[in-house]
Chains A and B, each alone.
Chain A
Amino acid sequence: MSTAPALDEKIKTVLRDHGRLNKDAMSLNPDADLYQAGLTSHASVNVMLGLEGLFDIEFPDQMLNRSVFSSVQAIRSALLELGVAA
């Protein structure tokens, strides 16, 4: 599976702007646990809205769960599933 570095950078930018993490979002490993990095339920909503605005998408109900926003890698998989280009 592609690591989709360009997409990961966009995801990290949204995390930097809206995630309120306790570490530098731009240097996160793709599999780093975002909840361990300080992502709250409210901040995850902001991240979701930031991603929806950036990519002009809407996360469907089944993706509105903690695991989808648990890591850069998990977010990337969800975005690819929604048709966002890597």
Chain B
Amino acid sequence: MGQPERLRVGIDLVQISRIRESIAAFGERFAQRLFTAEEIAYAGAEEALAAERFAARFAAKEAALKAFGLSHAGIDWREIEVLRHADGHCSLRLHGKANSLAGAPLDHETALSLSHDGDYAVAIVTALIAAPPITTHSH
């Protein structure tokens, strides 16, 4: 029998126009501080769609931090990467500290869904994580 598992979920909503303002205010540093080279290449491939693609990816990173309980862990956003596959679906790849704190790759399963409409982008992350050992306390 395998380890018990817990289902975790995280969600984040981002206003696309705010991301556009950040790009205008901080230039390339905004993208370089938050996104991997592959994410920047995809989002920047079509200038008209860059803000909504960055917004959805930022939402995904924040949703992942919530799902894995890493909001206080000090994680570089670039350690949580959104991969876009040939069929259009997206998934998460964790690197470095994000990966080690979220659990070894075999210990968790994640799913990511992105959506946007009008001025908002939303991301939801679900993760199946091996439950920690149950500790008992005697009183």
Interface string of B1-21 (1 = CB under 8 A from A): 000000000001011001100
Residue of B19, B25, B74 contacting most chain A CB atoms (<10 Å): B74
B residues in contact with A48, CB < 8 Å: 33
- Chain B nearest CB from A59 CB (Å) reads 9
> Digit string of A41-83 for contact with B (CB within 8 Å is 1, else 0)?
1110110110011000000011111110000000000000000
Residues in A with CB closer than 8 Å to B58 are: 42, 45
CB distance from A26 to the nearest CB of B (A): 20
Set A20, A49, A66: member contacting B71, Cβ < 8 A: A66
Q: Nearest Cβ in chain A — how far from B61, in angstroms?
A: 9
Bound Cα distance A46, B97 (Å): 23
Residues of A within 8 A of B29 (CB): 49, 52-53
A12 in the interface (beta carbon within 8 A): no
Instruction: Decide if A42 touches B19 in the complex (CB within 8 Å).
Output: yes
Residue of A nearest to B65 (CB): A41
Across-interface contacts of A63 in B (CB, < 8 A)? 74
Q: How far is the CA of A68 from the CA of B25 in the complex (A)?
A: 22
> A41 with B62: in contact, given A46-B22, A46-B25, A49-B30 (CB under 8 Å)?
yes
Q: A41-B12, A49-B33, A61-B74 are known; give 5 further A-B pairs, CB within 8 A.
A: A48-B33, A49-B22, A52-B29, A65-B75, A67-B72
Task: List 9 A-B residue pairs with CB atoms under 8 Å apart, sorted by A's residue number.
Answer: A42-B14, A42-B58, A45-B30, A49-B22, A53-B26, A62-B74, A64-B77, A65-B74, A65-B75
Interface residues of B (CB under 8 A from A): 12, 14-15, 18-19, 22, 25-26, 29-30, 33-34, 58, 62, 71-77, 97
